[in-house]
Amino acid sequence: MKLFISADMEGISGIVDPSYIDPDKGKNYERGRILMTHDVNAVIEAAVESGATEILVADSHYRMTNILIEQLHPKATLLCGSPRDFSMMQGLDPSFDAALFIGYHSRHGVPGVLSHTMSGVIKNLYVNDQVVGEFGFNAIYAALCGVPVCFVSGDDQIADEAKALIPKISTAIVKKAQSRTSAACLSLQESKRVLHETTKQALASLPGLSPMQVKLPLELAVDFSHAGQAEMAAIVPGTKYEHGTTMVTFVAQDQYELYRVMRAMMNLAGTVEFC
């Protein structure tokens, strides 16, 4: 069994605010890295017990150099560093049996610890008229690679968001959100147990899980925080934009074009100063 893991940081056990996830000025960042490696190892250990023979872990937060390789489970390979064309999903291809998302968070504008979508410039992201966060966007990418997403860990809010898209997904809830920067967190011993048990359950239920159904072509719509960002994003060839609005659209032929164009738009929009 060959498994792909995409690991973000906001939904990791014990992490509640930016001080744990910001490599430049987070006073708890080094603790955040230890916590992230803890959660990833708990899942890998259970996956190996369940028969996984190959595990690729894509470090998927910010500069993507967060996981401590010194402490990573020996059976996993770590894909780290950036930039990467397919960002959080780099390395996934049809040869994988399943994808597992660790430390994920809910989308921008809804409750959940550190909820956001990709970066501060994106207010809402739509694929085929459905609003998606990072979970949904990456699950669509996986589905079009023919790979089912069987597991997500994070707070109670991302568990709900994931189940709305993939009802049969196994969810490991390691904290309950109280506000965007506060949560009731399980102890590390308990979260390790929950991650371990949920991984085993997810992999046992794989035979009954097929990849999400996604229609092609993919209608991508990105709603930016302000019109200046949208104007900059609309430089990307093939996009459509109505002047003065915040929404830029693009029709992608496959998941690779979808990811590349979303990233190109987001990175261009990110260069615009607000005032």
Q: For residues 94-133, which are near Zn ion according to CB under 5 A?
A: none
Measured from the CB atom, the residue of 61 and 196 that comes closer to Zn ion is 61
Q: How far is the CB of 120 from Zn ion (least distance, A)?
A: 12
User: Locate tokens 């965007």: which residue?
Assistant: 180
Spatial contact of 197 and 176, defined as CB atoms under 8 Å apart = no
Q: Which stretch binds Zn ion (CB under 5 A): 60-68, 79-87, 221-229, 267-275?
A: 60-68
Q: How far is the CB of 199 from Zn ion (least distance, A)?
A: 21
8 binds Zn ion (CB under 5 A): yes
Measured from the CB atom, the residue of 6 and 255 that comes closer to Zn ion is 6
Spatial contact of 46 and 12, defined as CB atoms under 8 Å apart = no
Measured from the CB atom, the residue of 114 and 144 that comes closer to Zn ion is 114
Report how many helices (DSSP H) and strands (DSSP E) the chain contains, helices first: 6, 12
Phi-psi label, residue 4: left if phi above 0, alpha if psi -120 to 50, beta otherwise: beta
61 binds Zn ion (CB under 5 A): yes
Residue nearest to Zn ion (CB): 61
Question: Which residues, at least 6 apart from 187, have a Cβ–Cβ distance to it below 8 Å?
Answer: none
User: Locate tokens 């023979």: which residue?
Assistant: 53
If binding means CB under 5 A, how many residues of this protein chain bind Zn ion?
3
Q: Which stretch binds Zn ion (CB under 5 A): 44-52, 57-65, 117-125, 236-244?
A: 57-65
Q: Which are the catalytic amino acids?
A: 116
| Burial class of residue 244, CB neighbours in 10 A (0-12, 13-18, 19+) | exposed
Tokens of 178: 């109280």
- Which residues share a beta bridge with 221? 126, 249
Q: How far is the CB of 173 from Zn ion (least distance, A)?
A: 18
Measured from the CB atom, the residue of 118 and 230 that comes closer to Zn ion is 118
Q: How far is the CB of 8 from Zn ion (least distance, A)?
A: 4
| 3-state percent helix, strand, coil for the chain, nearest multiple of 5 | 35, 25, 40
Measured from the CB atom, the residue of 14 and 211 that comes closer to Zn ion is 14
Q: Which stretch binds Zn ion (CB under 5 A): 46-54, 59-67, 233-241, 261-269?
A: 59-67
State the Cα–Cα distance between residues 245 and 261, nearest whole angstrom.
Answer: 19
Q: How far is the CB of 61 from Zn ion (least distance, A)?
A: 4
Q: How far is the CB of 251 from Zn ion (least distance, A)?
A: 28
The backbone torsions φ and ψ at residue 42, rounded to the nearest 5 degrees and listed phi first, read: -60, -40
Instruction: Measure the CA dihedral 212/59/194/183, to 10°.
Output: -100
Measured from the CB atom, the residue of 8 and 155 that comes closer to Zn ion is 8
Question: Which residues, at least 6 apart from 41, have a Cβ–Cβ distance to it below 8 Å?
Answer: 71, 72, 73
Q: Which stretch binds Zn ion (CB under 5 A): 58-66, 71-79, 213-221, 230-238?
A: 58-66
263 binds Zn ion (CB under 5 A): no
Q: Which residues bind Zn ion (CB under 5 A)?
A: 8-9, 61
